[in-house]
Amino acid sequence: MKKITSIVILIFAAAFLFGNGRVEENAPVPEKTAGQPQNQVISVTDSYGRTITLDSPAKTIVSVAPSVTETVFALGKGALLAGRTDYCDYPAEAASVQSIGSLMEPNIEKIAEINPDIVIASNHFKKESAEKLENLSIKVLILNENKTFKGAYETIRDIARITGAEDKAEEIIAGMQKTVDEVKKAVAGKDKPTVYYMIGFGEYGDYTAGGDTFIGQMIEMAGGDNIAKNVNGWSFSLESLIEADPDIVVVSKYWNMKQNFIKADGYKELTAVKEGRVHEIDANLLDRQGPRLAEGLKALAEIIHPDSF
């Protein structure tokens, strides 16, 4: 269980490091014609304040974040992906894209062989790795974690502008906003049970979604009272968890997390464990700040307020 927990924490931390950069077009946008716009100069300001410029929408992309991969496919631009990480497992079509290695240790030589128009990574991408690629004239866009739910919309828009799929982005965002509105309406006026979103636990520490994280915001949007709402970031403690004794605990359905959690010393004494209120969820719907985030919000709300759906 210790090994599983450490792996989960590592993967989760890496997944959360992708977020939103700011994309601006410095040149006037030419009149659109059928298909992808041409001769569109795009300037991208990344999370490190660097300006990355493309002469036109990217034709080849290497993704070093699962949320980037999901977004590119959702935009209908999966054919542009020339590389993805081992953890980019959605949609199923992603499996047909060659892997460039892990999130933390991508294969720089393989990326260099692909020679994409741009590599989109999060800030777990080592500075020296980025420098190696840039010395080979490969553009690297480093995007950091965005702490708001709405940041997902801007992330989608940013990647859409990089790929020339702005109209599709607005369609996706409109669908997400519709789902969000439906969830908010369904839980409006309901009593708010206390909720703990368990990311990691045990010897290597306790991790959850603090009030300043987008998952923390999602718990509130879904009609729950996040017991970690006064905490910043992701670190928590068993003592605080026991003291709060939440009504509901939500855990990932992966890695046999629920069974490990409900049997662990300390945690098995929680009322939610004793009364069978530990619920599994597809954590990828919440962890990855991309097109499926609204779907994750609804899944969370269905756990917290099952009678409302």
Q: Where are the beta strands (DSSP E) in 96-224?
A: 118-122, 139-143, 194-198, 206-207
Per-residue pLDDT tens over the stretch 35-57: 444 556 898 778 788 888 999 99
pLDDT of residue 48: 80
The kind and range of the H/E element at 217 are helix 214-221
Contacts of 276 (CB under 8 A, 6+ apart): none
Scan for tokens 């599709």, then name that residue: 168
Q: Does the pLDDT of residue 32 top 50, yes or no? A: no
pLDDT of residue 182: 98
pLDDT of residue 25: 37
- Report DSSP state, residue 115: -
Q: Rounded to whole angstroms, how far apart are CA atoms 273 and 185?
A: 29
pLDDT of residue 291: 96
> Could you tell me whether strands 118-122 and 225-226 are parallel, antiparallel, or unpaired per DSSP bridges?
unpaired
pLDDT of residue 3: 44
The closest of 76, 290, 65 to 163, measured between CA atoms, is 76
**Across 268-285, average pLDDT:** 97
Angle, nearest 10°, between helix axes 166-187 and 151-163?
160
Report which residue type is found at 116: P
Report which residue type is found at 131: E
How many other C-beta atoms lie within 10 A of the C-beta of residue 138?
A: 19
pTM of the model: 0.85
Tell me the CA distances in angstroms from 232 to 40, 211, 212, 224, 268, one per residue in order: 40, 6, 6, 18, 26
Q: Rounded to whole angstroms, how far apart are CA atoms 38 and 31?
A: 9
- Report DSSP state, residue 74: H
Quote the distance between the C-alpha of residue 107 and its chain's center. 22
| CA-based R_g, the chain, Å | 20
Q: Rounded to whole angstroms, how far apart are CA atoms 162 and 18?
A: 16
Domains of the chain: 18-24+32-173 (3.40.50.1980), 189-308 (3.40.50.1980)
Q: At 107, is the pLDDT very low, low, confident or very high (cuts 50, 70, 90)?
A: very high
**Across 190-205, average pLDDT:** 96
Six-digit token string for 233: 């970031």
**Across 296-304, average pLDDT:** 98
Report which residue type is found at 92: A
Dmax (CA) for the chain in angstroms is: 64
Check if the beta carbon of residue 25 is closer than 8 Å to that of residue 42: yes
Per-residue pLDDT tens over the stretch 135-191: 999 999 887 767 789 988 988 988 998 999 999 999 999 999 999 999 999 999 999
**Which region, left, alpha or beta, applies to residue 160 given φ > 0 means left and ψ of -120 to 50 means alpha?**
alpha
Scan for tokens 């720089």, then name that residue: 108
pLDDT of residue 18: 39
Check if the beta carbon of residue 247 is closer than 8 Å to that of residue 197: no
Per-residue pLDDT tens over the stretch 222-264: 999 999 999 999 999 999 999 999 999 999 999 999 999 999 9
Average pLDDT of every residue of the chain: 87
Report which residue type is found at 63: S
pLDDT of residue 39: 58
